[in-house]
Structure 1
Amino acid sequence: MCGIIGYVGPRACKPLLLQGLERLEYRGYDSAGIALREDGGLDYVRAVGNLQNLKVAAGPNGSTATQGLGHTRWATHGAVTEENAHPLTGCDGAKLSIVLNGIVENYRELRHRLQAEGHEFTSDTDAESVSHLIEHHYDGDLVEAVRKACAELEGHFALVAIHHDHPDLLVGTRLLCPLVVGVGDGEMFLASNAAAFLRETRSVFFPDDREIVAITPDGVSFTKPDGTPVVHEVIVLDWDDESAEKGGYETFMLKEIYEQPDALRETIGDRARRGRLELEGLGMTDEELCELRRIVILACGTAYHAGVVGRYVIEEWARIPVEPDIASEWIYRNPVIDDHTLVIGMSQSGETRDTIAAMTLAREKGARTLAITNMMGSQITREVDSVLYTRAGIEMAVAASKTFTAQVALLDLVALKLAQARGTMAPEKLAFIVDELHDLPNRLADFLDGDHPIEEIAQRFYDRPFFLYLGRHIGLPVALEGA
């Protein structure tokens, strides 16, 4: 989950973009970048690490550019490198650039097609396909180019594009990811969260899915995918800075509970599409998956509970024995493992000491090792053969919610991939489950936004001194997590 911001207006935009990114850094912090429209072309500053590194790289260069983009990244596709940091360009970086939050599920098909047409890619990201696609459709009209490109995109995303030939114009669109327009005095903002510009204005518009948003210092226009104009009512937010960071929710935990659909969309995303599975990060061929005789899942706390859920689905679907264990205890045994054992280490942060030690031991004993983590570049990723990332975004609350469900969803995908490779599930049933899993985020969103009794139950029991959680089969690890 990344943070994006764009600005057009009379003021120098570099400090406004950096200030906005500072407010969005909670959405991602492995790299950041800005694009400024200077007289000679678009100028970029990118840096790996937290936002302070970008501020140092940007320096006090006195840019007077009044139009630009900013992005803070939580990596999902491609390593944490400066080449993969946004803003991302097409073939002519001096002309066109985009920032994007989300997942482009059909990026592989787009990338192959555009490369065949002569486009040269410079990053490993899914988002770069979008910049080249807009460039492909551009014929002097940036709004039309974004509209045509958006019609070809699958997934969930919010993006903003800038073109040097269109001073004082930014064009954005969204699908199942947040995008908000900020209305200032002779200036406009586009961002993934109003927190990015709340110090400048509280007047906002919220565009709908696939609407094309064009902002200039004079105002904003909205059009449907077919070009039909749309009118939105301006909304004046009553949030303070802290409320804006929490998205209007009372607590970070409540916010993250409602972020679960987005976390699942990011995690499942392009990995399960149209009945097909794409798990390149697994790093094993079908033949190697067939040779496995046993799986061990090692984790602590919430990740261990997710691992117990994983045992049930892997054994049910792939018919291979699975042993979940608490990493801090496993390392003090003399575990019986070999090169026909896959050891999966799960850690949200990727820095859980006992889980890292367990994975190091497993690798020393000759087992195949796989890490499941939410943090690209963390310590656990350097101790294993391969890595699969949940894409839940930063976790601020102490009690886990979205990270737990994202881990369970990713283990479901691993179970399906094993079943596919080992032939333990009929192809039509596997395709059905893949499609159902892909639709799960929408169902979860419908439930959270619908008429459910959770608040009424909480009000009835919140002051009780004791709770007993009971569960059987897959309900057992869920009960353990609840407790």
Structure 2
Amino acid sequence: MLLNSLIKLKLHLPIPVFGLGCGVLGMSLSKVSINLGKYAATLLKALEYRGYDSTGAIFQGDKQKIKLLKDVGAPSTLVKTLGIDNQPGRIFCGQVRWATFGPVTPKNAQPHEVKCKKHLYGAHNGNITNTTELKKFLLSQGHNIVSDNDGEMLVHTIEHYFDIELVKFPVKQHRETAIRRECLQKAIIKSSDKVVGSYAAVVVDPVTEYSYAIKAGSSLYFGVGEVEDNKFTLASSDLTAVLKFTKQLVNLRQGEFIEFNKAEFQIYALKKLRIKVPKSETVTYNPGDKISRISVRSRLRAEDTELKPPYKYFLEQEIHAEVESTGKLIKLFHGGSNTGKRMIRLLKKVDLLNKMTEICNRIQATDDYAKQTKIFNEFEKSSDIEKFYTKIQTNYQAIYNELVKENFEKKYFFSSDKNIFIELLNSHFNKRKLLVAKALDSITELDDVREFNKSVENFLKMLQHTYNNSRNIYLVACGTSYHASLIAALFFNEIANVDIIPVLPGNFRGLYSHSLRPDDIIIGISQSGETKDLIDIFDHVDDQEMDIKKVVLLNNLNSTLGQEKSDVTIPIYCGPEIAVPATKSFINQITLFYYLAIKIAEKKLSDCTSKSSKKCLELEKRVKMRLNSLDFIPKLIKETLETTEEQIEFVTSKIYFEPSMHLLATKILGVAKEGALKIRETLLNHAEGGEASEFKHGPNTILGKNTVFGIKNIRAMIKHYNENIDRMYILADQKKVSSKETRKISRAISNYVFKQSYPFDLSPAAAELFEEVIKEFDFFETAFRNYPLIYITGPEEKDVNLTISQINTHKIRGADTFVIAEENDDLLENARTNPHDEGYYGWGYITLPKTGDTLLTVFSATIVLQLLALRMSEKKMEKLDRLRISDHGVHPDVPKNVSKSITVD
């Protein structure tokens, strides 16, 4: 039974999403169930990684019978101790909290039930930044506020405007469902104007038994389904929680809210929205307008978003998955997987390709799993498949042997619709079913290849036209994607001799927005396809009404950028990425740019007028070499993962507790900047990536004595201070200074160290002792430490020599040296040599697999920096936890103040 499998779920990652705060849930069943509490327990535990300060649930059954259960503590504990898992009911509203507004107390736990003017209950996740102002306003309007929690202010604010709308009608109509629904919809819209912040919320009217889920800046997912013959609707901050119960999802955009009851739902505009409908005009919705949208079956499976052994963190799992993600992308470059191409050839040979394509189209044409299964099973039992299967056994032993390999469905399915076909197997992995599913997957993979090649070809035509007309190619992106654009510029220059301009959206507005010309190209990069800063730039370009082509590289094709804003969309195919710090998406972005640079070079080669010219011969040689190197990338990543662990661990132990560091790259700037971002995200340290030779032009002032103090600095200061205080006590005892005077000297030393305040209340003997102690006491000297510099370079001799020069320039001024590079004796010797005759000097060398190629070093160095950030984050988090430093926010997967939505496709 589904219920039993839900109860047995092993949920991972009991760590909060700092800064994002909390997770909210709302579930409505078509009929009362004694098992609603068990469903609620499963959902709450699924959200534990988003918050575990407090847990709460409200259950509503027949006749407005409501039970509120909440307290301080994690859901894994409280679902039992509060009896949440034993509650019956038809409606559930729940929340897990990571404290932001209001301390961790039962009163500040959510959900909140309010009855000041009208009866509502609800909860939220996110941050309401004008909470203080809202509280004053609500108190002035007669509301009874019992907590400091921003969630309560939101629910009260909706209640306030609900009452204002409802009193416009006669009292006898106040319990009429249609009127209450209309009034609550208006109240939600008015509240969104009053409330400042980013949030998602669930609010329930217990009279009508309608629930409302609001998406106003934070993640929110919605699904419909059936559990134990009971239809349901489900809203959640977390996609994984929804996928545990259903794959039928309803896409919600920011600025929308959804009204739901039992198995029914209706979406409304929360604010004025402009939505571009594919192959149609942009549609404008005013606040309160209905928005028609149907549920679609997600291609994701719950397993795709789960943490699997032996990994402890999603970041770790996703770094190791980069071997597979780049491998699958490169298979696409080569026209698909070998098994897929073999299957297509075989289907053609037995004259089954057209029939199988028809079956594939029928399955893809419906989101109804029962219909898909019926089509699949009927075809699997057909005489066509009987003959096909027999032929495979007798004449194509190699393909048949692959069918019996362990985890065949995980290793040999490659299409964008692979999960549809894997699910149709329904855990019955017999060889015939596997054969049919693999054939269907191969047909879809072929479609993926055709679509991809079409997009690439269109991109190449656009770029060639722009290049021939001496126009500009802009790469616009934010964060990690911007760093990928820096590497793209390197690849395009080195491989294709084409210059492109990488730029942040904010800089684009200031530097280029008024100098655009017809035939320019704007290339946007985004994992989610919903990056608002990038969407704003694309809107600005549209407003120019010039012939400027727009291209996007995305993971989520069903997004605003993918569906509404671009002329050409190219997928990066990295799969879902759960950890907030991007890894898989980055490596696939730069792998795709590497390929596109090669294709541009190929295009230029085909246009060579004199094939025997030196320039064309050099280009031909370069293209051939780069095409051959494509297949090295997954192998290079794998070898980097396997060979650098010990050296990464050594460097981690040296620098994970340092408060600041610089990463200096020679030629491969994007690698240094992305490595620094990963360190900032996961460690919350200051880390800055830059071009190595630029460090001496100002940033090097941080070397030597500075006031960037971390815990190691403080520990050294305190140790030195205590040693001098101990010495003072010994001298005081020798000089017969009283204990009272000795204590006064101790306090005087403390004041003198930070304020240079001389004590005038000491006795002559005590003053003499004070003078003696401070005369040789340099409190701050021990606080100063060498500053860590991490150098990243490719193997080219010029780059290595420049790096050596930088190392020697900086280490004599107080820098520790850590190098990420391929094996080089001169580089190693200069890194490890102490510039001083004595004293501490820290150094480390992480040896990259040998390629002799700077552009391939981009991939191996990136992997090392991702692993380094991961290990440093783990060690620092463990250390801070041991020191009992609360709310430190260090975590590999969910660092504070940043968040990311999982792609829904």
TM-score scaled by structure 2?
A: 0.32
Pick which of 193-202 and 77-86 moved more.
193-202
1:179 matches 2:220:
yes
Give the CA deviation at 1:250: 9.5
Distance 1:224 1:3, change over 3 A: same
Residue 91 of structure 2 is aligned to residue 67 of structure 1: yes
Matched position secondary structure for 2:191: helix
Equivalence map 1:71-470=2 (5 Å): 71-92=95-116, 95-138=119-162, 139=166, 140=180, 141-167=183-209, 169-185=210-226, 186-225=231-270, 226-245=287-306, 251=317, 255-258=578-581, 301=656, 304-305=659-660, 306=684, 323-326=709-712, 329-334=716-721, 338=751, 379-381=884-886, 395=891, 397=893, 402-403=895-896, 406=897
The one-letter code sitting in structure 1 at the alignment partner of 2:297 is V
CA offset at residue 353 of structure 1? 5.4
1:40-63 superposed Cα distances (whole Å, 9 cap, x missing partner): 543111122221332223327854
Contact 2:38/2:85 (CA < 8 Å) preserved in 1?
no
| 1:223 Cα offset (Å) | 0.9
SS of the counterpart of 1:165?
coil
Please, what TM-score do these two structures have when normalized by structure 1? Answer: 0.58
Decide whether aligned partners of structure 1 residues 323 and 195 sit closer, same or farther in structure 2, where only a CA change above 3 A counts.
Answer: closer
SS at match of 1:77: coil
* CA offset digits 1:162-189 (Å, max 9, x no partner): 121122x210111221111111143100
Please report how far the alpha carbon of residue 107 of structure 1 lies from its aligned counterpart in structure 2 after TM superposition. Answer: 1.6
AA paired with 1:49? G
Q: Distance in 1 between matches of 2:876 and 2:315?
A: 28
CA contact (8 A) 1:178 1:193 kept: yes
Considering Cα pairs closer than 8 Å and 6+ residues apart, tell me whether 1 or 2 has the greater RCO.
1
One-letter amino acid of the structure 2 residue matched with residue 333 of structure 1:
H
Q: Structure 2 CA distance, aligned partners of 1:302 and 1:238?
A: 42
Name the amino acid aligned to 2:885: I
Distance 2:38 2:878 in 1: 37
SS in 2 for 1:189: strand
For the structure 1 residues 349 and 301, does the alpha-carbon distance in structure 2 shift closer, same or farther, using more than 3 Å as the test? closer
More helix by share: 2
SS of the equivalent of 1:124 reads coil
Deviates more, 1:142-151 or 1:204-213: 142-151
Identity %: 21
Instruction: Provide the C-alpha distance between the structure 1 equivalents of 2:76 and 2:90, rounded to a whole number of angstroms.
Output: 22
Shift of 1:213: 0.6
Q: Structure 1 residues 94, 118: CA separation in 2 closer, same or farther (over 3 Å shift)?
A: closer
- Contact kept, 8 Å, 1:27 with 1:73, in 2: the verdict is yes
> Where do residues 462-481 of structure 1 align in structure 2 (5 Å cutoff)?
none
Q: Flag as ranges the 4+ runs of structure 1 deviating above 6 A.
A: 347-351, 354-357
Q: Check whether the contact 1:215–1:221 (CA below 8 A) recurs between aligned residues.
A: yes
Q: In the TM superposition, what is the alpha-carbon distance from 1:71 to its structure 2 partner?
A: 0.9
Whether contact under 8 Å (1:18, 1:70) holds in the other structure is no
Does the 8 A contact of 1:2 with 1:73 survive in 2?
A: yes
Give the alignment's Cα RMSD to 1 decimal: 4.1
The Cα shift of 1:132 comes to 0.7
C-alpha distance after superposition, 1:267-321 (max 9, x if no partner): xxxxxxxxxxxxxxxxxxxxxxxxxxxxxxxxx82672355569x99x99xxx95
Partner of 1:207, secondary structure, is coil
Distance 1:252 1:174, change over 3 A: farther
User: How much does 1:249 deviate?
Assistant: 9.3
CA-CA distance at 1:206 after TM superposition: 2.1
1:355 and 1:115, CA in 2 relative to 1: closer, same or farther beyond 3 A? same
Q: Distance in 2 between matches of 1:6 and 1:15?
A: 14
Alpha-carbon distance in structure 1 between the residues aligned to 2:875 and 2:315: 24
Q: Which residue of 2 is the match for residue 3 of structure 1?
A: 23
Deviations 1:214-237 (A, max 9, x none): 111132111112111112342322
* 8 Å Cα contact 1:212-1:223 kept in structure 2: yes
Query: How many angstroms does 1:106 deviate by?
Result: 1.6
Change (3 A) 1:176 1:252: farther
Q: Is the 1:34–1:70 contact (alpha carbons within 8 Å) kept by the matching residues of 2?
A: yes
Deviation string for 1:101-128 (max 9, x for gaps)?
1001122211111111111211121221
* SS of equivalent residue, structure 2 residue 578: helix
What is the CA-CA distance between 1:97 and the residue it aligns to? 1.3
User: What is the rounded CA distance, in whole Å, between the counterparts of 2:84 and 2:198 in structure 1?
Assistant: 36
Does the 8 Å contact 1:350/1:380 carry over to 2?
A: no
Q: Distance in 2 between matches of 1:159 and 1:88?
A: 12
Distance (Å, rounded) in 2 between the aligned partners of 1:93 and 1:32: 26
The structure with the largest alpha-carbon Rg is 2
* Paired residue total: 328
**Which position in structure 2 is the counterpart of 1:57?**
81
**Equivalent position SS for 1:333:** helix
SS at match of 2:125: strand
Q: Is the 8 A contact 1:203 1:234 kept in 2?
A: yes
Q: Distance in 2 between matches of 1:303 and 1:157?
A: 34
Q: How far 1:33 moved relative to its partner? A: 0.6
Deviation at 1:134, TM superposition (A): 0.9
Give me the whole-angstrom Cα distance separating, in 2, the residues matched to 1:355 and 1:14: 33
Alpha-carbon separation, structure 2, partners of 1:259 and 1:232: 30
Q: C-alpha displacement at 1:212, in angstroms?
A: 1.7
Equivalent of 2:40, from 9, 17, 39?
Answer: 17
Distance of 1:183 and 1:355 partners within structure 2:
40
| SS in structure 1 of the partner of residue 153 of structure 2 | helix
Distance 2:121 2:301 in 1: 32
The residue that corresponds to 1:31 in the other structure is 54
Q: What letter matches 2:248 in structure 1?
A: S
Alpha-carbon distance in 2 for matches of 1:170, 1:304:
47
Matches of 1:44 and 1:78, distance apart in 2:
20
Shift of 1:148: 2.0
Change (3 A) 1:60 1:19: closer
CA contact (8 A) 1:106 1:155 kept: yes
Query: Which structure has greater strand proportion?
Result: 1
- Matched to 1:228, the amino acid is D
- Which residue of the partner structure matches residue 435 of structure 1? none
